[in-house]
Amino acid sequence: MSWHRTATDRWRWLVPVALVLAPVGVVSATPAVVLCAVVCVGVAAFARASPAPEPAVDCERRFRERDDGTVAVSLRVENEGSAALPDVRVVDGVPADCTVLDGTPELACSLPAGASRTLCYRVESPESTRRFDDPFVVVADRAGRVELDARVDAGADRLGSSRPLPDAEPVALRPPTGGPPGPLTGTEAGQGLAFHSVREYRRGDPLGRVDWSRFARTGDLSTVTFRAERAPTVVLVVDARPAAYVARAPDATGARDHAVDAARALVTGLADAQVGLAVLGSGVSWTPPGTGRAHRARLRRELDTDPALVAPPEGDDPAVDPLATTLRARTPADAQLCLLTPLCDDAVATLARRLDTGGTPVSVVSPDPTTTDGPGAQLAHLERGARVRDLRRAGIPVLDWTEGDAREAFARAGWAR
């Protein structure tokens, strides 16, 4: 790191001023004016004599994602040198499109040898990765005569998920009971924007809903009703059991990773729905349904960091009954489930059917990890095909997806709206 030196020479001009004042004082025999000149020269000499700082500044940045969709950034600035730094100014390199919500990324202080100060502020959690510049540090001497500035390496500089959410088309799953999914309107009257019908006025109807023009025309009071709007609730269930840890070839992308990709596409594609997440590992890790930017950031974080989705699975497959019970207990009454699984064992197909017959609409998104080379592989392929057929026969829509990424599969199957 090289420090760029700027000499401000703030007090240099005092010397000529003193050189004017002193003779004037002497000639006019006014000691006060001479002493005035002495003070000026004294201050200039002090500035000249103060040692230039020898900065040894260490910066360390930390990010902490919070549940409210913001990121707390802390930047620790430490004086590692043996001399005190009388005047340190630090500006953290916040990317231009990151909004600072609280606190300030700037610091002005003096740092004794070995001392440190921490700068804390919050930024909005970005949709995709942002790179922070190294903090800009200015160190000045006691009198401010010399300034040294440099960008000091601060370690962590990348903020955001390793992978941003994809720009997926809106996706429609099964029509939930009471109306189709999405930002769409239901069939019954209620709160909303789209006109539904006009009915007779009933006592207690809000005045704003009364059709006053009809009242003026006919003298009858009537009330306008609107189509009820609903935000459907969808819980994405990602199968991360050991049985789902399969791939076409040892070096191919695993079915679990395809399922996570599909889940990421669904988080964006179901932007108008309340989306929850359940990861089936040895147990169920549950993120309750919600909407909004902060919630999507949380889902993205869960999909990126959930141990069951990141590490290779351990232990045996969990029993289906407790999984079904847990899912049924946690899923809200009007929610539907979207099960993301390679469908490589009977247990998960049973789970889907049991949940569906239990009254929770289920749809299945299934990346196909099977191949047809070799008799064993062919058998697995056929068995999986039978499972897909059985589920479809039971009225559960299955997106059977062999090639390409999740968004293409949704588009091909006509699930993308």
Which residues make up the interface to other proteins (CB under 8 A)? Answer: 8, 10, 12-15, 17-19, 21-26, 28-49, 86-87, 89-91, 100-110, 138, 140, 142-144, 147
What minimum distance in Å lies between the beta carbon of 210 and other proteins? 38
Write the secondary structure of 262-286 as one string of H (helix), E (strand) and C (coil): HHHHHHHHCCCCEEEEEEECCCEEE
Angstrom distance (rounded) from CA 168 to CA 359 = 29
Amino acid at residue number 330? R
φ, ψ dihedrals at 71, nearest 5°: -125, 125
Nearer to other proteins, 11 or 401 (CB): 11
CB 142 within 8 A of CB 119: no
CB of 116 to other proteins, least distance (A): 16
Residues 6+ apart with CB under 8 A from 296: 165, 267, 268, 271, 275
Nearer to other proteins, 33 or 348 (CB): 33
**Measured distance CA(1)–CA(151) in Å, rounded:** 8
Nearer to other proteins, 143 or 399 (CB): 143
How far, in whole angstroms, is CA 285 from its chain's centroid? 19
DSSP class per residue in 192-238: EEEEEEEEE--TT--GGGB-HHHHHHHS--EEEEEEEE---EEEEEE
CB of 114 vs other proteins, minimal distance in Å: 18
Least distance from other proteins to the Cβ atom of residue 124, Å:
11
User: Hey, which residues does 155 pair with through a beta bridge?
Assistant: 61
Which CB atom, from 43 or from 56, has the smaller least distance to other proteins? 43
Query: How many whole angstroms separate alpha carbon 389 and alpha carbon 371?
Result: 18
The sign of the CA dihedral 318, 324, 330, 335 is: positive
Per-residue burial over 1-11, b = 16 or more CB atoms within 10 Å of its CB, e = otherwise? eebeeeeeeeb
Closer residue to other proteins in complex, CB, 7/35: 35
Q: How far is the CB of 27 from other proteins (least distance, A)?
A: 10
Nearer to other proteins, 24 or 210 (CB): 24
Q: Which C-beta is closer to other proteins: that of 14 or that of 364?
A: 14
Tokens representing 301 are 């974080």
Please report, for residues 2, 44, 48, 110, the alpha-carbon distance to residue 5 in angstroms, rounded to integers and kept in the order given.
9, 20, 16, 19
Query: What is the smallest separation between the CB atom of 13 and other proteins, expressed in angstroms?
Result: 6
Output the CA torsion 410→303→292→366 (10° steps).
Answer: 20
How near is the Cβ of 24 to other proteins at its closest, in Å?
8
Smallest gap from Cβ 86 to other proteins, in A, equals 7
Closer residue to other proteins, CB minimum distance, 21 or 284: 21
Closer residue to other proteins (CB): 30 or 197: 30
What's the min distance (Å) between Cβ of 291 and other proteins?
Answer: 22
Q: Which is nearer to other proteins, 24 or 394 (CB)?
A: 24
In the complex, the smallest distance separating the C-beta of residue 51 from other proteins, rounded to whole angstroms, is 13
- For residue 109, count other CB atoms closer than 10 A to its CB: 14
Nearest to 170 by CA among 301, 259, 273, 261: 273
